[in-house]
Structure 1
Amino acid sequence: MSTPTVLTDAQRSVADRVITALAGPDARLRDDQEAAVATLATPGSRALVVQATGWGKSAVYWAATAVIREAGGGPTLIVSPLLSLMRDQVAAASRAGLTAATLNSSNVDQWAAVEGDLLAGSLDVLLVSPERLANPGFGARVLHALAGRLGLVVIDEAHAISDWGHDFRPDYRRVSDVLQNLNPQTSVLATTATANQRVTDDIAAQLGAGSEASGPDQLGAGSEASGPDQLGAGSEASGPDQLGAGSEASGPDQLDREATLVLRGALARKSLHLNVVDGLSPIQRYGWVAQELPFLPGSGIIYVLTVADADRLVTAIRTVWGDEPRVAAYTGQLPADERHELEDALLDNRVKALVATSALGMGFDKPDLGFVVHVGAPPSPVSYYQQVGRAGRALDEAVVVLLASRLDDSIWEYFATATIPDPKRMNRILDAMNEAGGPVSVPNLESATGVRRGKVELAVKQLAVDGVVERTPDGWAATGRPYVYDAPHYEGVVAVRQREADIMRAFVRGERCLMRLLTESLDDPAADDCGRCSVCRGELTPGLNERPDDETVATLSAVLRRDAQILAPRKMWPGGSFGRRGRIPAELAAEAGRVLAFADAPQWGDVLDAAKNGDATARDRLSESAVAVLADWGRRGGIRPETIVSLDLRGGDLAADLAERLRSVGRRPGSAYPVVAGPVPSRDATSATEAAYWRDHLGSAPPEVAGLAVLLVVDETSSGWAITLAAASLREAGASAVSPMLVHQTA
């Protein structure tokens, strides 16, 4: 089926009206943008746009929506991944003269009115999340009513519908199910800035392009993967001037199979000065950021890998500089309104930097962002390039720094397999559904299967992608379709992810020009040495230092070791094989406690390992920090312990030694909580299994705690069930309160 590549005069007039409203009186669609809009204006067409940020992908769907609506077509449904992105898109639609609204978790009270406007035809654009598509109520109420009336469906950040992509989300894959139920006259547009050839082929296949999404030996367009440098990806480069007005999509990148047009653009980031600083310890990386931040250009983003890192690094920066420069932590755990406020603060340059997890990513657009620093590398060049691509979109120069670490390898290995289905687990969950004879909730599946809740949630979403289960208002139910584990496919996914990790290792080692290494791995035929990166120059960007001062690092270590995290008490019994369920009675519950070292807290580094192995100096440091934490805890209204009980769960005497030191400092009595030796449950054990284990392996609470407030010093745990059960036992023995101090909470 051939589709037009130019607009009619009437269509161009409508499109020009939209573009000038968005970009100014002299703005016009470029030739490639017009080709996309003209294609989508043809009923039933398919288009996939893989272009860099700044190319104008959103201009395509706003112009196409206006053209379709002007011709009497139905509204546009946009599937968008982030609430912040939806907020910006609703505002952009309004500027384009379109009426848009969104249905998401933050505006539940508006759903009825929005759905009414949509069905009445007064709404031009509806934005929803992929999770909303998986909701059976939304599907029955809205999608069914609109199935024959939509003019255009837009899948934004479409790489997320492919499990070959760097950000695969099972709920996003449900988009392809929606496409199967569309009126054949509905046009479909998929957009992304981060899709390699394999991901492009997979998306095109899901759109109905007729291309084959393939096994592990086929990377698309006939290219072969041979080593870490040939993965292929189209990533975020930016600035419309860097892509070339009227760039042509040709050869294997322009597919006109059935009704699909695939447009892919070139990759070029002349503004970015890439730098790698390797060999720093975790706490030295914090020191580098704290020391160098005021001297980085403009405002920017500091990416970290965990929520805990975001909070700790903000504390580190404030330790060195106080309230100036202003920084704040940005994570997915913050309420939506707080995230919006922080985004606006960065956009307005009211903060020097946001210390952010990957939650600050897709959709955030600040053209004058001056720098991006990574404390730890993402697991793939695609996700790395997407994040550094936030910088320098409208600047001649922007600084990008990767602070690498030996810890990154273990994180990359985890991400390579984290979303790969376990066929035994899948079949166990399906068996539980079939035995139930009807819809089952996720908590009930956890109890019935012994699989942790998070893994159950991921598994049922993946099974839903294959049509093996479906979500109903009453829970998840089997459809009767058999589950088939596609081993060659998933072996290919893991192989690709491991090769992507190899690229990042080569990047960290500085094997050649950093920009060239990235762009070659991202399938850019124009890849060349940049002359600006730390490899090409043989040094870091002028003004940056290789190492932080020892004094800065020592100061941060001492401060952060006193910055304990809150240990929230568990409130519910786990049920299942444990037996007891429901709320833990207040008279048996622990108080909120403190965690000295959370996961791989950089301020502890080798000190924690040495303390576990009995090193006296390391244990002195641990004791000093614990005393400081106790003092601060008391000042904040925490209890003052009258007796101190130690609980060593992993063998050894770490908790016993620390408790004895605290007793000496505070002149308090105390004793050890007895533990029966035995094989500790694996990390995959359910809450019920682990709670049952500790119920059976904790001895009787020491009777001398009766009537006293207890400080319970614990060596190491991840789940906290041992602490919960020990606290309940101590309370049953008469303790007036139990406040845990956990030395190390493992991930």
Structure 2
Amino acid sequence: MTSTVSSDLRERAEAVLATLAGPGARLREDQWTAIHALVAERRRALVVQRTGWGKSAVYFVATALLRADGAGPTVIVSPLLALMRNQIDAAARAGIHAATVNSANTGDWERTYAAVASGEVDVLLVSPERLNNPDFRDRVLPQLTATAGMLVVDEAHCVSDWGHDFRPDYRRLRTLISELPAGIPVLATTATANDRVVVDVTEQLGLASGEPLVLRGSLDRESLRLSVVRLATPAQRLGWLADHLDALPGAGIIYTLTIAAAEEVADFLRERGHPVASYTGKTDPQERLAAEADLLDNRVKALVATSALGMGFDKPDLGFVVHLGAPASPVAYYQQIGRAGRAVERAEVVLLPGREDRDIWAYFASLAFPPEPLVRQTLAVLGDDAMSTAAVETRVDLSRTRLEMLLKVLDSDGAVRRVKGGWVATGEEWVYDRERHQRIAEARRAEQQAMLDYIDTTGCRMQFLRRQLDDPASERCGRCDTCTTPAWSTDVDQDAAAAAQERINRPGVEVAPRKQWPSGMAELGVGASGRIPATELAEPGRVIGRLSDIGWGTRLRELVDGDDAPVPGDVLDACVRVLAGWGWEQRPVGVVGIGSRTRPHQLDHLARRIAEIGRLPLLGTLTPAGPRPEAHANSPQRLAALWSAFEPPAFPVPNAPVLLVDDVIDSGWTATVAARLLRRAGASAVLPFALAQRG
């Protein structure tokens, strides 16, 4: 009898799959095993399978079967809007009504909630951040938890801080799972999890109770041709990319490590006649949608993207993935290259590593979990009354990004709670797990070394990546550049290399001025709030380049981190080029330097030479007042430290535009405070100029 029931269930499952993937589609054995466990046994399962294997088919088929048996809607926790859009389209093909609640569709929330309550919605997709939105958590989630037919945690490696893309909001899922009624199946899925992450995911999500089903398949991708092309300079790498882009099959993705690099590379490739678009965390949501559609429909050769285009982007015929700069771990690298070659016989995967990659890794590593004193300080400032993140920021010296991450972790650990209006302390005891954070830091260093080993290996590259994911590979792939004759030479067309060198050497980046004072400055004794008055604003500024730029970045880092020495000739030449191409409405009538306690000679030399070259008077220098301000991580505390950091101008300030010269623009608050002083002293406009911008 059991066999007959199982056979009938499989027939029904195959029928649903046919509507989802076409009449010829058949379930893989592991897909069927997972579906049977979820539908017939109501178990909890973790599925670790490569991108393109069909993990979404498991939960959509299981949803259709559970709904047919009278179960409530499936709740899918999904991390990215792009992933949600693809999942909704896929569900519709199987006759499943899916809806989503996310930051981009706030106007639809009430209608969606009502549709879920009335049974019209089969699948509700929510972001992990939404789970702790006070209104959603307190008003919608209890009913949803009580009536859900299945819970799916997509990209489940995000729950583990051993994973390459840890997201603290995922930690809240353990509480959600613990509150599900008995017999509600739970499915967690990911394409990138080694043994350590698998164990951590099952523990963090509370899946370990009831002997969860763990299905892990081979991570080999027979379509992928892995290559590493080592070139000495950024110009050679950029020239190689422009020279070889047309030879790469189909349409694809070019990954960079920073937003600045993505925009710079996209601009250069367009200059060379290639139809490409940039795609980063700063790209407007509507522009993201348009860029995704252009890539899906092959209207562009490539998207030049940061990791913002990663999990969930579904283009089965993606022909190539190129990395201009190596990710910090083989696991993250595998996750990104897994976008390619899902429905084509051959896809090219090319890594162009650079010497500057390690500096970028070090920067991102510096954003790790804060040390215990700052965590204790955060807990100490919270009480029974709700305090906004902006208010906490005035009392805890952490950047907004790190502070939000910390608060979310403390929330998931039960030490704080998010409420309307901000955060409150719960009074629950909290223990700082120093050993775990040290182990994570050590693991990150080991991953970085493993990435360097991947670049240098003479062994099979796919075998190397699979072993990093604890997927044993006894045989070489026979496809990568170490198993066969390398597919790509290191030759670079001279014209392309020269154009790349010219683009990289081209100085000049606009820096937007600060227009709003940070919130809560009164708490720090500073009388500034709201919009900065137009009569005190700085104009848009200019720098030679960003410290993270492909070209000028390395040269500028050497200069601003080096000795307090005169500015060399090549950098002064770049200054002249930037100033000559500025295009200001009215030429400045003089130069004002910003005084420095740490680099006085270099800044004095820079201001004097710019004045001499521009045949402008050096009006004077803003003199530092009092002791050197401490360095701070967030805007409110930076501004408070700088508010009285300079004496009012001791020189006549003309009622005309002036050029304000500094070495580095970091947060922008130094230029903002200095511009305020100069505008109040009579300047009609202040034009900030610096050698470099951080970021």
TM-score range, shorter chain: over 0.9
Q: 2:77 aligns with which of 64, 72, 79?
A: 79
Q: The residue matched to 1:268 in structure 2 has which SS? A: coil
Identity of aligned residues (%): 45
Aligned to 1:556: 500
Judging changes above 3 Å, is the alpha-carbon distance between structure 1 residues 105 and 515 closer, same or farther for their aligned structure 2 residues? same
- What amino acid does structure 1 have at the position aligned with 2:478? G
- What amino acid does structure 2 have at the position aligned with 1:568? A
Q: Distance in 1 between matches of 2:470 and 2:397?
A: 44
- Does the aligned pair in 2 maintain the 1:14–1:63 contact within 8 Å? no
- What amino acid does structure 1 have at the position aligned with 2:148? L
Q: 2:451 aligns with which of 480, 494, 504?
A: 504
- What amino acid does structure 2 have at the position aligned with 1:131? E
Q: Distance in 2 between matches of 1:682 and 1:292?
A: 48
Map 1:332-731; keep pairs closer than 5 Å: 332-416=281-365, 418-434=367-383, 437-537=384-484, 540-541=486-487, 544-548=488-492, 552-562=496-506, 564-574=508-518, 575=521, 576-577=523-524, 579-583=526-530, 584-605=532-553, 607-608=555-556, 619-634=568-583, 638-649=585-596, 650-676=598-624, 683-731=631-679
Shift of 1:410: 3.1
Q: Distance in 2 between matches of 1:558 and 1:657?
A: 27
Q: The residue matched to 2:514 in structure 1 has which SS? A: coil
Shift of 1:665: 4.6
Shift of 1:409: 2.2
Aligned to 1:14: 12
Judging changes above 3 Å, is the alpha-carbon distance between structure 1 residues 412 and 603 closer, same or farther for their aligned structure 2 residues? closer
Q: Could you state the TM-score of these two structures normalised by the residue count of structure 1?
A: 0.87
Q: Distance in 1 between matches of 2:471 and 2:373?
A: 40
Q: Distance in 2 between matches of 1:107 and 1:699?
A: 49
Judging changes above 3 Å, is the alpha-carbon distance between structure 1 residues 189 and 633 closer, same or farther for their aligned structure 2 residues? same
Shift of 1:721: 1.7
- What amino acid does structure 2 have at the position aligned with 1:122? E
Map 1:97-136; keep pairs closer than 5 Å: 97-136=95-134
- Does the aligned pair in 1 maintain the 2:235–2:501 contact within 8 Å? yes
Q: The residue matched to 2:652 in structure 1 has which SS? A: helix
Judging changes above 3 Å, is the alpha-carbon distance between structure 1 residues 551 and 488 closer, same or farther for their aligned structure 2 residues? same
* Residue range with higher mean Cα deviation, 147-156 or 564-573: 564-573
Q: Distance in 2 between matches of 1:433 and 1:54?
A: 45
1:235-264 deviation line (CA, Å, top 9, x unaligned): xxxxxxxxxxxxxxxxxxxxxx61521111
Judging changes above 3 Å, is the alpha-carbon distance between structure 1 residues 491 and 659 closer, same or farther for their aligned structure 2 residues? closer
* Residue range with higher mean Cα deviation, 338-347 or 682-691: 682-691
Aligned to 1:199: 197
Shift of 1:86: 0.6
Q: Distance in 2 between matches of 1:628 and 1:423?
A: 47
Map 1:297-312; keep pairs closer than 5 Å: 297-312=249-264
- What amino acid does structure 2 have at the position aligned with 1:273? R
Judging changes above 3 Å, is the alpha-carbon distance between structure 1 residues 30 and 508 closer, same or farther for their aligned structure 2 residues? closer
- Does the aligned pair in 2 maintain the 1:557–1:604 contact within 8 Å? no
1:512-545 deviation line (CA, Å, top 9, x unaligned): 22222212222222343223323334x631xx33
Shift of 1:52: 1.0
Q: Distance in 1 between matches of 2:615 and 2:651?
A: 20
- Does the aligned pair in 2 maintain the 1:569–1:592 contact within 8 Å? yes
Shift of 1:64: 0.5
Aligned to 2:685: 737
Shift of 1:63: 0.7
* Residue range with higher mean Cα deviation, 328-337 or 578-587: 578-587
Alignment partner of 1:27 is 2:25: yes
- What amino acid does structure 1 have at the position aligned with 2:479? R
Shift of 1:169: 0.2
- Does the aligned pair in 2 maintain the 1:46–1:260 contact within 8 Å? yes
Q: Distance in 2 between matches of 1:662 and 1:168?
A: 46
- Does the aligned pair in 2 maintain the 1:5–1:36 contact within 8 Å? no
Q: The residue matched to 2:529 in structure 1 has which SS? A: strand
- Does the aligned pair in 1 maintain the 2:14–2:27 contact within 8 Å? yes
- Does the aligned pair in 2 maintain the 1:44–1:259 contact within 8 Å? no
Q: The residue matched to 1:499 in structure 2 has which SS? A: helix
Q: Distance in 2 between matches of 1:683 and 1:674?
A: 19
Shift of 1:190: 0.6
Q: Distance in 1 between matches of 2:486 and 2:625?
A: 53
Shift of 1:383: 0.7
Q: The residue matched to 1:148 in structure 2 has which SS? A: helix
Q: Distance in 1 between matches of 2:499 and 2:559?
A: 20
Shift of 1:107: 1.0
Shift of 1:593: 1.2
Alignment partner of 1:159 is 2:106: no
Alignment partner of 1:288 is 2:240: yes
Q: Distance in 1 between matches of 2:642 and 2:267?
A: 35
Q: Distance in 2 between matches of 1:389 and 1:284?
A: 26
- Does the aligned pair in 2 maintain the 1:283–1:605 contact within 8 Å? no
Shift of 1:695: 3.7
Q: The residue matched to 2:152 in structure 1 has which SS? A: strand
Judging changes above 3 Å, is the alpha-carbon distance between structure 1 residues 659 and 548 closer, same or farther for their aligned structure 2 residues? farther
Q: Could you state the TM-score of these two structures normalised by the residue count of structure 2?
A: 0.93
1:654-707 deviation line (CA, Å, top 9, x unaligned): 444444444345433233323338875565444344334434442332533221
Q: Distance in 1 between matches of 2:470 and 2:69?
A: 39
Shift of 1:351: 0.8
Aligned to 1:241: none
Judging changes above 3 Å, is the alpha-carbon distance between structure 1 residues 560 and 413 closer, same or farther for their aligned structure 2 residues? closer
Aligned to 1:261: 213
1:576-620 deviation line (CA, Å, top 9, x unaligned): 435223032221111111222112323225543676679999744
Judging changes above 3 Å, is the alpha-carbon distance between structure 1 residues 16 and 131 closer, same or farther for their aligned structure 2 residues? same
Judging changes above 3 Å, is the alpha-carbon distance between structure 1 residues 502 and 29 closer, same or farther for their aligned structure 2 residues? same
* Residue range with higher mean Cα deviation, 339-348 or 594-603: 594-603
> Unpaired segments of 5 or more residues in structure 2?
none
Judging changes above 3 Å, is the alpha-carbon distance between structure 1 residues 6 and 134 closer, same or farther for their aligned structure 2 residues? farther
Q: CA RMSD in A?
A: 2.6
1:43-84 deviation line (CA, Å, top 9, x unaligned): 642111111112111111111101111111111100011111
- Does the aligned pair in 1 maintain the 2:173–2:205 contact within 8 Å? no
Alignment partner of 1:50 is 2:42: no
* Residue range with higher mean Cα deviation, 659-668 or 112-121: 659-668
Shift of 1:279: 5.1
- What amino acid does structure 1 have at the position aligned with 2:590? T
Q: Distance in 2 between matches of 1:143 and 1:149?
A: 10
- What amino acid does structure 1 have at the position aligned with 2:166? F
Shift of 1:453: 2.6
- What amino acid does structure 2 have at the position aligned with 1:175? L
Shift of 1:473: 0.8
Shift of 1:455: 2.3
Aligned to 1:225: none
